[in-house]
Structure 1
Amino acid sequence: MIRFTLMAGSLFVALCACSAGSGTRGVGFTGIDGEPSGPWAGAGGGVSQPLGPIEALAALPPRAVSAPGAATAAAEAIDNGGRSPATALPVELLGSPLMLSLVEVDGRPYAVLRRPEGRRGDLPAGAAARFVTAVPMMTGCLAAGPATLQNRPRQIGAAVPLDCR
């Protein structure tokens, strides 16, 4: 019985070690309708698994800024929110393309929505309320307060404080 347990345990550890890696896939079942029987050696070296929104957002470094008061923290977060794919994650909210980024204001994280570079106009009607409800799915954190809209003279963005504990 001990020998069986040791064999099963070592097989489990070996299989777990095989799965830890760069997230590439390429070994499939053998003999079923042409599925691969070994690692894929085509262009790019393997099949990559696409990142989910939370992983993609986590891959972008948050901007760290400071604000003089709590009333201006959300406005500071919006001003520093990303608007390009290098600094923000493209998302769609209420049928409108927007950019989602993380900004830390005096150590407190904010999720920020802004229009992409080159796009003008207000955020869609109801975007603030929908943003608050979508924050857990977009960021993996809870909303720690209401959304703040920044208008000058148009709505340029929205920020929601995050609780990532």
Structure 2
Amino acid sequence: MKRLLASACLICTALSACTGLNYQRGIGFTGIDGEPKASATRTGGTVTRAAGPIQALAARPPQRLRVGDGDPGALAATAIAHGGQTGTTAVPATLGGAPMMLSTVEVNGVLHAVLRLPEGRRGRFADDAGAAFAGAVPRLTGCLAAGPTYRRDRPMEHAGLAVPLDCR
């Protein structure tokens, strides 16, 4: 038993001496020899604790509305009209480098992600904004897009985009 314990201690001591004095921190170790594929350029970086859009949206319950019309376009138009434009009802987001406000609105049981211009800003969305918003929905909300993007450009102070969500 002593012989087994002594050999195990000797092996552990020998392996711990293999690290060397010039230990490198790196990214993507190759395995056997332990050399990094790339070196870390900076040390002492920080990790942000700020909430991302998914966590920020989860902290705000969606507005719940009921309307008489069950048409998907009418539901999306209602969601856009009631989507948030301030920091209390929506979270900041960017689309194509432009500042926007992202909120969730549930109309007749259908949850929509709504993207609107911040309060006090007027303008139109670019032609490709709908496709860009639909592609960014999973990253922004944590849900999948359950349908096409609906847009409203008039009146300009109420312009917005809405996408029905599938959060199963």
Query: What's the TM-score once normalised by structure 1's chain length?
Result: 0.68
Partner residue of 1:156 out of 144, 154, 159? 159
Matched, 1:104 2:106: yes
Question: d(CA) in 2 for partners of 1:150 and 1:72?
Answer: 11
Partner residue of 2:78 out of 73, 76, 80? 76
- Cα distance, 1:64 vs structure 2: 0.5
- Cα distance, 1:96 vs structure 2: 0.8
Deviations 1:44-81 (Å, cap 9, x if unpaired)? xxxx8221210011111210011222231000000000
Question: d(CA) in 2 for partners of 1:159 and 1:104?
Answer: 11
- Cα distance, 1:153 vs structure 2: 4.5
Q: Percent identity?
A: 52
Which has the higher mean CA deviation after the structures are superposed, 149-158 or 63-72? 149-158
Does structure 2 conserve the Cα–Cα contact (< 8 Å) formed by 1:141 and 1:164?
yes
Partner residue of 1:125 out of 124, 127, 133? 127
Match of 1:55, SS?
A: helix
Q: Which runs of 4+ in 1 moved over 6 A?
A: none
Q: Which residue of 2 aligns with 1:31?
A: none
Matched, 1:114 2:154: no
Q: Which residue of 2 aligns with 1:54?
A: 54
Counterpart mapping for 1:32-47 below 5 A: none
Gap regions ≥5 residues in structure 2: 1-43
Gap regions ≥5 residues in structure 1: 1-34, 36-47
Question: d(CA) in 2 for partners of 1:63 and 1:122?
Answer: 24
Question: d(CA) in 2 for partners of 1:101 and 1:150?
Answer: 16
Question: d(CA) in 2 for partners of 1:94 and 1:151?
Answer: 17
Match of 1:64, SS?
A: strand
